[in-house]
């Protein structure tokens, strides 16, 4: 296929995806995910909204300064301060992109912007010219485009192309459009913007009606050549176009789509898992492509067909997205070199210090579990690679519970290099554990959500606990894993409390 048949993947997991409630990421987590996006071979990484906060600025700058071989974009409203700040964060990147936006729908003009169409047109042109004075790589988005007057959008797009925009984004900001309608919009733009050949048309669809992927595919079929999407469809409200669904639809139905992407699909499943671990937002089991049941077959008829010929009921090979079936990798007698080889095979690169920490944790777990799987090793890797400074460290935990026993927990923590302990009773052993931890840490945070799942099968499987905690106006995710579910819960709760402390310290630094 020619270059004109390539669909550019603009990944906005780090920006729009992070706007999911409770899905905020720290600098280390964003950088780790950016590294994974490079492995996926996305074309553009939208690293954040630099003017939003000092933390966001630092995250974008860190990624632009150190992640190479991919375009790094930063979002900016149509004003000088936003654009200047975005460029300051992006300027050391490879072919950095300033992505500026302004609403074009009458409802936004009247109630939000309080501007006329002529004022919007003038501001859009002036802003793009200012951005183009820094870099030739400028993208302009017409916010709420799908509910805008099409002729006005054509007029704005034509003007910003002349001002220096190389990418024009037509968002379905509220997820309102239907696929046939959205496709018609794209066709109209392609036919009615006189200078459209000087720019690339992009789409950014939201999933409020569950149509983000369908609308994006309709746009591609009508001339759009960039799609803005997120891993797992992460994003505010009902989320965005799911990158994995879009890419695999284009690949699987190449006979009809007649386009391609450069995505290394074997990294899709590991990327999905990484986003889940970082954000604490699990993927529903029946989700397309990356859900736990996506390649599971329970019906007798389906199983019979699968045994005879896989393609009777599978239109994709699980290996194509990097899905492994819990391969046995290592045991308690495995050495450091074997562990390192497996980590490299899984796509991770660790420093010697981190490798030592992983090896120590691996040996501890291997002594408890009969079998070690990739998923077990991955849980250890995420805990080590994405670790944050521990203000509170779990030393020991003992619980007593039963049908005829008042649940109680005794917890020993290390706080400020001193060991302290507390006992508490509760409704259950986990409640008792959390009460003891809350007393020791003197936290006033609220537990908003608690979930537990099994990393692998078997009675000796590690339990994985995710909690969502609110404190000081911030919502954070805490995660922990351990063969003992109560210990995993304690680790998750402490991880969340440590994140709150970390955020408070980072805000204090930013304030200075």
pLDDT tens by residue, 94-105: 999 999 999 999
Q: Which is more confidently placed, 147 or 28?
A: 147
Q: Determine how many CB atoms are found less than 10 A away from the CB of residue 208.
A: 16
| Cα distance between residue 190 and residue 238, in whole Å | 29
100, 78 Cβ separation under 8 angstroms: yes
- Terminal-to-terminal C-alpha distance of the chain: 53
Q: Which two tokens stand for residue 17?
A: 């995806």
CA atoms within 13 A on the CB side of 212: 29
Mean pLDDT within 469-474: 88
Percentage of residues in the chain having pLDDT higher than 90: 65
Q: Which two tokens stand for residue 227?
A: 């799609």
| Cα distance between residue 46 and residue 49, in whole Å | 8
Q: Which is more confidently placed, 284 or 428?
A: 428
Question: Residue for token digits 């300027």?
Answer: 91
Mean pLDDT within 403-423: 95
Question: Residue for token digits 């912007």?
Answer: 113
Provide the pLDDT confidence category of residue 479 given band limits of 50, 70 and 90: confident
Q: What is the pLDDT of residue 298?
A: 45
Q: What is the pLDDT of residue 70?
A: 97
- Asked whether residue 159 carries a pLDDT value surpassing 70, the answer given is yes
Distance of CA 353 to the CA centre of its chain: 27
Q: Which is more confidently placed, 475 or 441?
A: 441
245, 213 Cβ separation under 8 angstroms: yes
Closest alpha carbon to 322 in 247, 233, 229: 247
Which residues does 455 contact at the CB level (< 8 Å), separation at least 6? 373, 375, 376, 379, 461, 462, 463, 464, 481
Length of the chain: 512
Average pLDDT, the chain: 89
258, 222 Cβ separation under 8 angstroms: no
- Asked whether residue 52 carries a pLDDT value surpassing 90, the answer given is yes
Q: What is the pLDDT of residue 28?
A: 86
Query: Kindly report the CA angle at 271 between 342 and 475, in degrees rounded to 5?
Result: 115
Phi and psi, residue 421, nearest 5°:
-140, 160
Percentage of residues in the chain having pLDDT higher than 70: 91
Q: What is the pLDDT of residue 326?
A: 43
pTM for the predicted model, two decimal places: 0.85
Each residue's pLDDT tens digit, 294-337: 876 444 444 444 445 566 667 888 888 887 554 445 676 778 88
141, 114 Cβ separation under 8 angstroms: no
| Cα distance between residue 405 and residue 434, in whole Å | 18
């Amino acid at each position: 296929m020619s270059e004109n048949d390539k669909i550019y993947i603009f990944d906005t997991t780090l920006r729009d995806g992070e706007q999911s409630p409770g899905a905020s990421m720290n600098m280390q987590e964003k950088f780790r995910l950016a590294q994974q996006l490079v492995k996926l071979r996305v074309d553009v990484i939208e690293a954040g909204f630099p003017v939003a906060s000092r933390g966001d600025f630092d995250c974008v700058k860190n990624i632009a300064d150190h992640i190479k071989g991919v375009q790094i974009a930063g979002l900016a409203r149509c004003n000088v301060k936003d654009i200047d700040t975005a460029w300051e964060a992006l300027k050391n990147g490879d072919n950095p992109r300033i992505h500026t936006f302004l609403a074009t729908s009458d409802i936004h003009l009247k109630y939000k912007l309080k501007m006329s169409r002529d004022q919007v047109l003038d501001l859009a042109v002036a802003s793009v010219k200012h951005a183009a004075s820094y870099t030739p790589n400028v993208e302009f988005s017409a916010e709420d485009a799908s509910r805008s007057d099409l002729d006005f959008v054509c007029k704005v797009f034509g003007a910003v192309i002349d001002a220096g925009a190389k990418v024009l984004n037509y968002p379905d900001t509220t997820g309102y459009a239907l696929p046939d309608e959205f496709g018609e919009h794209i066709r109209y733009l392609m036919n009615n913007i006189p200078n459209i050949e000087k720019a690339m048309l992009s789409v950014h669809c939201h999933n409020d009606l569950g149509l983000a992927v369908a609308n994006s595919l309709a746009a591609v079929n009508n001339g759009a050549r960039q799609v803005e999407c997120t891993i797992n469809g992460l994003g505010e409200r009902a989320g965005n176009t799911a990158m994995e669904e879009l890419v695999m639809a284009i690949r699987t139905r190449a006979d009809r789509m007649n386009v391609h992407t450069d995505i290394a699909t074997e990294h899709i499943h590991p990327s999905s898992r990484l986003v889940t671990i970082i954000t604490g937002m699990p993927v529903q089991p029946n989700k397309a492509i990356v859900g736990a049941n996506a390649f599971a077959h329970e019906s007798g008829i389906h199983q019979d067909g699968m045994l005879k010929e896989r393609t009777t009921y599978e239109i994709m090979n699980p290996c194509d997205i990097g899905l492994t079936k819990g391969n046995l990798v290592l045991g308690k007698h495995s050495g450091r070199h074997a562990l390192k080889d497996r980590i490299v095979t899984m796509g991770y690169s660790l420093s010697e210090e981190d490798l030592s920490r992983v090896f120590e944790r691996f040996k501890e777990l291997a002594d408890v579990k009969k079998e070690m799987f990739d998923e077990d090793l991955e849980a250890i890797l995420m805990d080590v690679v994405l670790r944050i400074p521990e203000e509170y460290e779990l030393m020991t935990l003992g619980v007593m519970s039963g049908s005829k026993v008042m649940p109680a927990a005794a917890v020993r923590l290390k706080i400020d290099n001193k060991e302290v302990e507390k006992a508490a009773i509760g409704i259950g052993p986990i409640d008792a554990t959390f009460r003891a931890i809350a007393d020791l840490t003197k936290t006033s945070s609220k537990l908003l959500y608690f979930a537990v799942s099994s990393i692998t099968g078997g009675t000796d499987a590690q339990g994985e606990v995710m909690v969502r905690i609110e404190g000081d106006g911030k919502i954070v995710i805490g995660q922990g894993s351990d063969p003992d579910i109560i210990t995993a819960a304690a680790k998750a709760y402490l991880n969340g409390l440590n994140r709150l402390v970390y955020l408070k310290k980072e805000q204090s630094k930013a304030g200075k």
